[in-house]
Structure 1
């Protein structure tokens, strides 16, 4: 498989090129997701979190029933919360161990 660095999403009746590196957080809204980027843009996309996580690169991890984060864009992790830019996201108990293992692999 080709190492993809971007994907196109359909939003506001147009196809938008979105680089994976630019995505900070993906928030689930039922059958839609809200995609937050490093440039403070937000995109609404018609796809469920469950379907979306399967097509994202490895640096994306589900940390809550309603959130997927890009591990490369996390500012810090403290008191069971991840902070990405201005967003503070609670890590659900069921995802915590998996997240901690991912952090261990990234530590110096």
Structure 2
């Protein structure tokens, strides 16, 4: 479960974010804060927060000034009507910057970024476990969003205007292009081996000539992608 907090002085913004997040079953709201001081009080209580939806222009203390007070901030998704502060936001390592009014699809894209694992040097066992928890994506299929674990993906196959996402025990058809998932999965061990195939390197059983074997499936290697295979086998 991903716990999120809304920090915004506009009640309508709270309503919209809560409505959108309510459509994603693995998100749980832990609080509404209408200024930064309320957010500080809530966080000081030790409430577990994975994602903060943070407005910038708020009374008493701005969103960015609030963010600077946090020594170990959760993932932050900025929600604002002011695009001119985007650079400052990324300097503070915010995950994404949503300009109001934003769509449901745009919010899901931001959540996908927030829940992707970030490589950690010298990770402790607790950090490794947290990374596994965040190793997730929301996949749009038939007007629904499926939350999947990246480790469950075997390979992704282009299918006309869609893609088939082959999981260990499920098949999901997505409306996104294969290039979209190639970019989304860039931080993980996925490589393009054919114009129609993106594969999870840890799932490879063996390589035979111009074919990659994953379980009972034989995936062709495209001529222009052979360098990717050479990198795998050294």
User: Under a length normalisation based on structure 2, what TM-score does the superposition of the two structures give?
Assistant: 0.42
Give the alignment of 1:1-108 within 5 angstroms. 3=117, 4-39=134-169, 41-56=170-185, 57-104=187-234
Unmatched 5+ stretches in structure 1: none
Unmatched 5+ stretches in structure 2: 1-94, 96-115, 118-133
Distance in 2 separating the partners of 1:51 and 1:11: 14
Is the CA contact (8 Å cut-off) linking 2:192 and 2:228 kept in structure 1? no
Distance in 2 separating the partners of 1:60 and 1:82: 13
Is the CA contact (8 Å cut-off) linking 2:137 and 2:150 kept in structure 1? yes
Taking CA–CA contacts closer than 8 Å with sequence separation of 6 or more, which of the two structures ends up with the larger relative contact order? Answer: 1
Is the CA contact (8 Å cut-off) linking 2:190 and 2:198 kept in structure 1? yes
Q: Extract structure 1 runs of 4+ deviating beyond 3 A.
A: none
Q: Secondary structure at the match of 1:15?
A: strand
Is the CA contact (8 Å cut-off) linking 1:30 and 1:48 kept in structure 2? no
- What is the deviation of 1:29? 1.4
Select the structure that is richer in helix.
2
Q: Aligned-pair RMSD on alpha carbons? A: 1.5
Structure (1 or 2) with the larger CA radius of gyration? 2
Q: How many residues align?
A: 103
